[in-house]
Amino acid sequence: MKRAFLFPGQGTQVIGMGKDIYENYEEAREIYDRASKISGIDIKKICFEGPEEVLNQTQYTQIAILTTSLAILEVLKNNDINAEIAVGLSLGEYVALIYAGIISFEDGIRLIQKRGYYMDTLVPDEKYSMAAVIGLDSSKIEKVCKELSEQGKFVVPANYNCQVQTVISGKLDAIDEAIEKLKMAGAKRVIKLNTSGPFHTSKLKEAKDAYAKELEKVSFNQINEIKVIKNIDGTYYQEKDNVKEILANHIISPVRFDKAIQLMENDKVEEYVEIGPGKTLTGFIKKDNKEANIVNINNLESLKNYISQER
């Protein structure tokens, strides 16, 4: 059976994530402990106890979700459950790259720690917001954003999640104006998100430039038999790709998860397994492909059930 592993991004975090798995699997404990030692951050405490205002800080959110996903993944690997394809949303791409062996565990932890820090701190001192636009074609969303941008109001598509959902990002007043225009253009719903950073836009150029220097310190391994999908264009990584350049540009470029979904469907994926907090990515897949066979592994019960089914 052709299986894809999916790894969630920021916004899925919840206090207590991974705690029951940590308490029941030695290999999961080792992942949390190794990640904490490398980063110098008490990741267990942040994941299991919070407080929420700390867990929701980008510099901690990213490494917390990454570590939780890696801990669950380690248990699956130890039970000989693997996938031919791996894809993540934004920071989730790093879990996919670690799984495929393109980035080492140690380098992955260090990189995501720096990435989260720069995305949290190297942001223009202005008020930003993001909003999910549901039920409107992305070309119409792009048109509204372009019209507002031509008036000097910063708002752009940031996440193309699936055919029926696109997230826009921009200055707070521009987002508010875009929401009204998008509703008038036929959007079924527009939901303002609980984020304050203009993620995946040109406003993070300073963060991207600082992060590019961190990427230069890291050696990447060759592409192997596990296929990893790039967020930046929804295609598989190839040998010719400049991984450092792609990951740096990833910070300022829209996420094309919609194209990743289409690629997996075209590649005849038979089972989609989301590994980590939440059910966001399988939700996107179900919107585009109602017949998709999806699995969510985000707690001890779902992990044990899946392992028992695969035996």
With bands split at pLDDT 50, 70 and 90, how would you rate the model's confidence at 311?
confident
Mean pLDDT of 179-202: 92
Contact 120, 130 (CB under 8 A): no
52-82: per-residue pLDDT in tens? 999 999 999 999 999 999 999 999 999 999 9
**Residue 195 confidence (pLDDT) above 80:** no
pLDDT above 90 coverage of the chain, percent = 97
Q: For 79-95, what is each residue's pLDDT tens digit?
A: 999 999 999 999 999 99
**What's the pLDDT score for residue 196?**
66
Q: Which of 36, 129, 200, 253 is catalytic?
A: 200
Predicted pLDDT at 51: 97
Q: ω before 51 within 30° of 0 (cis)?
A: yes
Q: Where in the chain is the domain with CATH 3.40.366.10?
A: 3-122+202-310
Choosing from 90, 129, 169, 253, the catalytic residue is 90
Catalytic residue at 200? yes
Fold of 128-193: Alpha-Beta Plaits (3.30.70)
pLDDT at 197: 81
Share of the chain above pLDDT 70, in %: 99
pLDDT of residue 21: 98
Residues of the chain with CATH 3.30.70.250: 128-193
Whether residue 180 is predicted with pLDDT greater than 70 in this model: the reply is: yes
Average pLDDT of the chain to the nearest whole number:
96
The pLDDT of residue 193 is: 86
- pLDDT at residue 164 in the model: 96
Instruction: Kindly report, residue by residue over 210-243, the tens digit of the pLDDT.
Output: 999 999 999 999 998 999 999 999 999 999 999 9
Query: What is the tens place of the pLDDT at every residue in 97-144?
Result: 999 999 999 999 999 999 999 999 999 999 999 999 999 999 999 999
pTM: 0.96
pLDDT tier for residue 205 given thresholds of 50, 70 and 90: very high
- pLDDT at residue 40, rounded to an integer: 98
- Banded model confidence at residue 14, pLDDT cuts 50, 70, 90: very high
Q: Is CATH 3.40.50.2300 the right assignment for the domain spanning 3-122+202-310?
A: no
Q: What is the pLDDT of residue 19?
A: 98
